[in-house]
Amino acid sequence: MSKQVKQLDRVIIRFAGDSGDGMQLTGDRFTQESAVFGNDLVTLPNFPAEIRAPQGTLPGVSSFQVHFADHDILTAGDAPDVLVAMNPAALKANLGDLPKGAAIIVDTHDFTGRNLTKAGYDANPLDGLGDAGSPLGEFSVHPVDLTGMTVEAVKEFGLSRKDAARAKNMFALGLLSWMYGRPIESTISFLQKRFAKVADIRDANITAFKAGWNFGETTETFVVQYEIKPAPMSAGTYRNITGNLALSYGLVAAGVQSGLPVFLGSYPITPASDILHELSKHKAFGVTTLQAEDEIAGVGAAIGASFAGSLGVTTTSGPGIALKSEAIGLAVMTELPLLVIDVQRGGPSTGLPTKTEQADLLQAMFGRNGEAPVPIVAPQSPGDCFDAAIEAARIAITYRTPVMLLSDGYLANGSEPWRIPEIDDLPVIDPKFATERNQTVTAKDGSDVEEYWPYLRDEETLARPWAIPGTPGLEHRIGGLEKGDGHGNISYDPANHDLMVRTRQAKVDRIAESLPPLVVDDPSGEAKVLVIGWGSTYGPIGAGCRRVRKAGYQVAQVHLRHLNPFPKDLGEILKRYDKVLCPEMNLGQLSLLLRGKYLVDAIGYNQVNGMPIKAASLAEAIGGLVAEAEGITVDLTSSPIAEEASK
């Protein structure tokens, strides 16, 4: 049977099922296939905090959205074009996000009385499809007994019915892989490795996967196959990578590039634990990982390791930062290199462990007693977590200071194609350990003696020397009590304290001298509205700006990687624009800092629903501001917009 092939420039698919249905794996495999195929892509996993929320219920639904395209895209997409729903709850939970005309592939197997009730359906929504009153009338629905066909396909392996049915996610993946012309070899070899030890499960999964593919190919249920050409990308070797993996690799790279052993002290917490898991595999790089008894011990051990000459790192999420605050203050006072990684999640308190948020910026900035400035770096995309980790290490080591790296749940678990960098292109970080005494003093008998002063400063960076135990002649004591300028002995002198407080601040401010100028994306150079953001909102903000431009209006975008200190040219850039819009997944934390520092009327666009900002609604807000700034009417729908059209 010959099938029709239709060209598309981009598709958003959402796989949804019960949290035990393997939707994350399914989405991940589809993503890998798409990456290998050469599409640009962005993913958005979304899962409940419970490992096994009650089966078949709305809270138990887990989903994975993947947006892939033949051009450069920035977000996981606002609304799915295709929903794969493995049970009634998955259908119900996701229906509200679908635009008119979206395709729904639904596994009919679980649409039985009990499961329908569990999901809160009074009647089976699949009944009377095509009738005028059907609740799914606006969509193109493909009811398929995925489970039944899977069980049938794998029956030769003699699995229990339950085990056989578990391969249904691979059947669905096979079907979708056929529909979108995905290469299937990588999934087959993945399944071979993953289930290498259980031959029947391995074979059942591979068989189900192939059966799904063949089902699409040979039956008449699906008549159209879609083609999404590879996206043009700059030359290089690519892989698909999540933020947590890129961040872990960045930490390993920081160790190699500085020649320092990496020491991670950490306590498990979602969504940061995967960094601990990943780093624990890289002992061959001299990486030590300590799963501590709590967050305080994690950072304490990292500080100890830094004192001993390692690159101390601690990874956590917001609640853990709260516990670590006092120790971070100690690292500020002792001026030791330390990386503090906060993979932000919804707060306050335990909040929304598996959802994303950017509400720890002010905690990172001010969450300590006393004047305790800490540099802050934030990655803007999953792949960028690699570079951001190295940059944070550069600052920590060069300036002898704790550095906060603010990732978030969306970056941590989301993925994108990442161009693998050449090692030669990575920065080299010189720890410049102190080896010599650095100060001549006059002894009581009038003779000159050489001493080691731990708080003498480098003129350029204001960094203090880092002398590690084992270095003869440089024995010294540091601690949390105020240090005398230069010699570093305890000092309660009022003038000295004032000087030291200002000096620690000046040292952090000095980092701005080492930062490159900001890149303002203002294609026409005539925009009156500037959109400024930080962290993972980079994608949605970029996509929102593209929509506005595509509709024929001007808007500029700038994105901050360094939040403390701000880059030197930021003030001047902000002044160039009539209106400044600051979209954030919090109630206005960056805008508060911008207002405080630059007296600029930064206008907030704030969303704290645990999900990334949607480009379409943000574009409306930008459009509104453009209208105000330019005194024109802005109608983003008036011109044909292709979402995410290239710049």
Partner 1 sequence: MTTTSTSSTENLPFPGLRSGVELVPTNDQPQTSKEYTSDQEVRWCPGCGDYAVLKAVQGFLPELGLRRENIVFVSGIGCSSRFPYYLDTYGMHSIHGRAPSIATGIATAREDLSVWVVTGDGDALSIGGNHLIHALRRNVNMTILLFNNRIYGLTKGQYSPTSEAGKITKSTPMGSLDHPFNPVSLALGAEGSFVARTIDSDRKHLTSVLSAAAAHRGTSIVEIYQNCPIFNDGAFDAIKNNDTKADAIIPLVHGEPIRFGVGGGKGLVRDSETGGVKIVEVGAEPGQVGEDQVLVHDAHNPDPTMAFAISRLTDSGYLNQSPIGIFRQVERPTYDDGARAQIASSREAAPGTPSERLANLIGGGDTWTVV
Q: Which two tokens stand for residue 142?
A: 């493909």
Q: What angle do CA 440, 441, 446 make, to 5 degrees?
A: 125
Q: How many residues bind partner 1 (CB under 8 A)?
A: 73
Regarding 3 and contact with partner 1 (CB under 8 A), the answer is: no
Cβ proximity to partner 1: between 116 and 474 the closer is 474
Give CA–CA dist 397/466, Å, rounded: 9
- DSSP codes of every residue in 245-279: HHHHHHHHHHHHHHTPPEEEEE---TTTHHHHHHH
Spell out, one character per residue from 475 to 514, where the chain touches partner 1: x when CB under 8 A holds, - when not: xxxxxxx-------xx------------------------
Q: Which of 584, 577, 621, 622 has its CA nearest to residue 601?
A: 577
Q: Which two tokens stand for residue 218?
A: 């040979």
Q: Quick one: which segment of 35-43, 101-109, 494-502, 534-542 binds partner 1 (CB under 8 A)?
A: 35-43
290, 365, 385, 390: residue in contact with partner 1 (rule CB under 8 A): 290
In angstroms, what CA-CA distances link 325 with 294, 375, 602?
13, 14, 29
DSSP code, position 37: H
Q: How far is CA 344 from the centre of its chain?
A: 9
Give CA–CA dist 563/584, Å, rounded: 13
Cβ proximity to partner 1: between 223 and 481 the closer is 481
Regarding 305 and contact with partner 1 (CB under 8 A), the answer is: yes
Q: Which of 93, 125, 99 has its CA nearest to residue 19?
A: 93
228, 330, 615, 619: residue in contact with partner 1 (rule CB under 8 A): 330
Cβ proximity to partner 1: between 59 and 480 the closer is 480
Regarding 469 and contact with partner 1 (CB under 8 A), the answer is: yes
Min CB(294)–partner 1 separation in Å: 6
Spatial strand order in the sheet of 82-85: 40-46, 61-69, 10-18, 82-85, 103-107, 140-144
Cβ proximity to partner 1: between 148 and 268 the closer is 268
Give CA–CA dist 403/469, Å, rounded: 23
Q: Quick one: which segment of 45-53, 148-156, 464-472, 543-551 binds partner 1 (CB under 8 A)?
A: 464-472
In the block, which residue shows the tokens 């699906």?
A: 222
Q: Which of 55, 46, 48, 114 has its CA nearest to residue 86?
A: 55
Min CB(495)–partner 1 separation in Å: 20
Give CA–CA dist 310/288, Å, rounded: 10
| Range 402-461, binding partner 1 (CB under 8 A) | 420-423
Dihedral sign for Cα atoms in the order 504, 509, 513, 518: positive
| Range 224-253, binding partner 1 (CB under 8 A) | 233-241, 249, 252-253
Compute φ and ψ for 405, nearest 5 degrees.
Answer: -115, 115
Q: Quick one: which segment of 30-38, 124-132, 391-399, 550-558 binds partner 1 (CB under 8 A)?
A: 30-38
**Bridge partners, 344 (sequence order):** 408
Cβ proximity to partner 1: between 248 and 564 the closer is 248
5, 198, 223, 308: residue in contact with partner 1 (rule CB under 8 A): 308
Which amino acid is present at 474? L
Min CB(308)–partner 1 separation in Å: 4
67, 109, 282, 464: residue in contact with partner 1 (rule CB under 8 A): 282
Min CB(549)–partner 1 separation in Å: 26
Q: Do 302 and 327 contact (CB within 8 A), yes or no?
A: no
Min CB(415)–partner 1 separation in Å: 11
| Range 68-97, binding partner 1 (CB under 8 A) | none
108, 124, 134, 186: residue in contact with partner 1 (rule CB under 8 A): 186
Q: Are strands 82-85 and 10-18 parallel, antiparallel or unpaired?
A: parallel
Min CB(438)–partner 1 separation in Å: 16
Min CB(265)–partner 1 separation in Å: 6
128, 261, 268, 431: residue in contact with partner 1 (rule CB under 8 A): 261
Give CA–CA dist 554/562, Å, rounded: 26
Give CA–CA dist 579/556, Å, rounded: 10
Cβ proximity to partner 1: between 139 and 209 the closer is 209
Cβ proximity to partner 1: between 332 and 590 the closer is 332
Regarding 45 and contact with partner 1 (CB under 8 A), the answer is: no
Spell out, one character per residue from 97 to 126, where the chain touches partner 1: x when CB under 8 A holds, - when not: ------------------------------
Cis geometry, peptide bond prior to residue 472 (ω within 30 degrees of 0): no
Q: Quick one: which segment of 208-216, 282-290, 398-406, 526-534 binds partner 1 (CB under 8 A)?
A: 282-290
In residues, how long is the chain? 647
Regarding 177 and contact with partner 1 (CB under 8 A), the answer is: no
Give CA–CA dist 386/389, Å, rounded: 5
178, 215, 307, 566: residue in contact with partner 1 (rule CB under 8 A): 307
Min CB(386)–partner 1 separation in Å: 8
Q: How far is CA 647 from the centre of its chain?
A: 24
Cβ proximity to partner 1: between 46 and 415 the closer is 415
| Range 309-328, binding partner 1 (CB under 8 A) | 309-310, 312, 326-327
Cβ proximity to partner 1: between 128 and 304 the closer is 304
Give CA–CA dist 145/163, Å, rounded: 17
Give CA–CA dist 554/556, Å, rounded: 7
Regarding 286 and contact with partner 1 (CB under 8 A), the answer is: yes
Residue 509: burial class (beta carbons within 10 Å; 0-12, 13-18, 19+): middle
Cβ proximity to partner 1: between 153 and 241 the closer is 241
Cβ proximity to partner 1: between 403 and 615 the closer is 403
Q: Quick one: which segment of 70-78, 266-274, 288-296, 354-362 binds partner 1 (CB under 8 A)?
A: 288-296
| Range 373-392, binding partner 1 (CB under 8 A) | 386
